[in-house]
Structure 1
Amino acid sequence: MKIKCTGCSKVYDIPEERLPFGEIISFPCPACKGIIKIDLREKTNGEAVAPQANSAPDRAEEEREMPKGETLQKIIMRRLQELPPMPQVMFKAREVMNDPKSNFKALSDILETDQAMATRVLRLSNSAFYGLAGKVSSVQHASVLLGYKTVGEIVSMAGSSTLLGESLDGYKLDSGDLWHHSMAVALASKIIAKKIKPEMENDAFAAGLIHDAGKIVLDRYLRERNTLFEEFMKDGEKTFLDAEKHILGFDHSEIAALMCQSWKIPNTLTTAICYHHYPSRSRESILAYIVHVADSLSLMSGIGTGIDGMLYKMDNRALGYLGLSEDKISPIIEETVDSVQKITSQMK
């Protein structure tokens, strides 16, 4: 369907299968930022014209009338099924790796059913981070050289690169920013877990990798309410997290937890992701504290942080709870930055 913004005359061609017929929808025009409002309660002849773009005050008033709180959360829950799924090959690969009777060939056979995934796994395996630059020729070869545990990490990174790699205009994040930040948090979480709770390394890495996945769902709602978010954050002292709670009634970590439930991710990871901004509310989840500290240190490093990255504060008791002293912070940040650079250099 062709949709025209009468504010700037820009025409957008949106596939009909992506439109929720039977509803009234609104979204900001990417060109002029005016609100495009379309009544889809009756199917049209393939063309629709948006009302005249509103002035900023009118847009703000219209945005204030949009759903929020429990009503909006119910809408989001209904639309979770529209999410791009975590690649099924990731789950199948992890099942194989958890099977004591499996072998390297079984793992490579699973991965090679998805050529795009297999290619990303190979590229990551050949990164300087794993010390095998240019030496890995196949997925099976990577499995033999690196082992199940490491290949599991690589599969997770390769799968998440598609899900988390897009730009998020609502959060002012460029393409790749969220994935780079997520990798940094995953790697920092693993480093911290290795120091204090080695048996949690795998879970820490996985939780860190998808801790901000809720942002890919909320981005459209931030764009729809762009004027309200800009007004709320204009003093430069409030974060997107503050704005989400104030304007939407919930935040991206809560939505990420719903996504985890949809993906049938274990409760320990779901809890850590849900409370990674407020670990003290997690009923003493060590994993929540690990991801919280890793997120804070990654923000300090400046990797894929966005415009509000420096405004987030670490929980005062987090380091003490994990038994980490402040002199451990700089080495963790340095190791994380070095690791991310080595990995991403191979993915360019």
Structure 2
Amino acid sequence: MKVECSSCKVQFNLPDERLPKGKKIAFPCPRCKGIIELDLSAPDESGSAGTDASQQDFLKGEALKKKILRSVKDLPPMPQTVIKAREIMADPNSDFKSLARIFETDQAIATKVLKLANSPYYGLGGRVSSIQHASVVLGQKTLGELITMGGTASLLSKSLEGYGLDAGALWKHSLAVAFGAKMLAELKQPALANDAFTAGLIHDAGKLILDKYIAERWQLIEAFMGEEGATFLDAEKSILELDHSEAAFEVCGAWNIPKALTIAIRYHHNPTKSHDNMLAYIIHVADAIAMMTGLGIGIDSTFYVMDEKALGFVGINEADINRIMAQIIESVKKISE
């Protein structure tokens, strides 16, 4: 279904099968936050072939949660090249040569890193020819961003049926949040910029775990979303016993992500529960701004709720939001070319 916001006139394509049928719903526009109202109460004449998911004998409760958590081990691990690279960059006694050497045995990631380094985003005109060269002209911190992107691009580019995300959509949204988080950190707490980028890039990794369970139980999700005031996060928690931010926390543990980033990702939808963790607030606000751009958004974005305290805590205004939105769109475009 094509939906147009009456306020900003931006159009969004929402998968029909992901909308709660038989209900009148209202949700905030991902871009301008104006209210979009849809009347889906008309009867569906297409028939109801197949078994009603609400009647299926799905695993539930704690047993389901344990099964989901066990499935974390089935997710491809963070490439050892990325882990070793992060360790080397954290060592003040390391040098460019030691960083370059670890890529000699992982040409796949090395190729991705060089492709990203030569994208229009970095403005080097395709002149970067090696990892060592990249570390010299871009610096270790920027190279760290490139390595994280190179190591996660394939995994985050998969299609996620349950969330209504085509192949590449989650990756595009992840990039948008990463760039937005880095911009926010540079404005308010520059020391967090690199951590903000990494956390932003993998903040939705939990969706990789929950997706098949969401898809299997879509009719249950749909029925839950028909309730007034329900969010997609609420639906995940109610039906699967954990939401995707909790699942991401487990994924980060399996990937050996630093604790500070893991905590921020765990609370990126509920930053007030993070004990004033600035990184959690930054990811939360960056996520909301990224959704306003319309880049790589799924069905859950139409039910996104921003924490009322977040903008004040991070300390940005509407002008900052508009500027960051424009920069995110330009950054994602350039890094993807």
Bucket of the pairwise TM-score, normalised by the shorter protein: 0.7 to 0.9
User: Which residue, out of 89, 97, 107, partners 1:105?
Assistant: 97
> Structure 1, residues 236-293: CA drift from partner, whole Å, max 9, x if none?
9754323212321221000101111222322211111111111111111111100000
- Equivalent runs, 1:71-220 vs 2, <5 Å: 71-220=63-212
Query: Counterpart of 1:297?
Result: 289
Distance 1:321 1:165 in 2: 32
Amino acid at match of 2:299: I
Q: Relative to structure 1, is the Cα distance of residues 236 and 219 closer, same or farther in structure 2, using a 3 angstrom cutoff?
A: farther
Normalised by the length of structure 2, the TM-score is 0.82
Query: Counterpart of 1:327?
Result: 319
- The SS at the match of 2:299 is coil
Mark the structure with the bigger radius of gyration.
Answer: 1
- The SS at the match of 1:136 is coil
Of 73-82 and 170-179, more deviation after overlay is shown by: 73-82
Query: Counterpart of 1:241?
Result: 233
> Structure 1, residues 3-33: CA drift from partner, whole Å, max 9, x if none?
xxxxxxxxxxxxxxxxxxxxxxxxxxxxxxx
Residues 92 and 110 in structure 1, CA contact (< 8 A), matched pair in contact too: yes
Distance 1:344 1:74 in 2: 37
> Structure 1, residues 143-170: CA drift from partner, whole Å, max 9, x if none?
1111101000000111110121100111
- The SS at the match of 2:295 is coil
Mapped pair 1:272 → 2:264: yes
Q: Comparing both chains, which one has the higher relative contact order based on Cα–Cα distances under 8 Å and sequence gaps of 6 or more?
A: 2
Residues 186 and 207 in structure 1, CA contact (< 8 A), matched pair in contact too: yes
> Structure 1, residues 102-139: CA drift from partner, whole Å, max 9, x if none?
22121111123211101100100001111112111112
Shift of 1:182: 0.7
- State the Cα RMSD in Å: 1.8
Residues 171 and 240 in structure 1, CA contact (< 8 A), matched pair in contact too: no
The gaps in structure 2 that reach 5 residues or longer are 1-47
- Calculate percent identity across the aligned residue pairs: 53
Shift of 1:101: 2.0
Number of equivalenced pairs? 290
Residues 118 and 127 in structure 2, CA contact (< 8 A), matched pair in contact too: yes
Shift of 1:310: 3.4
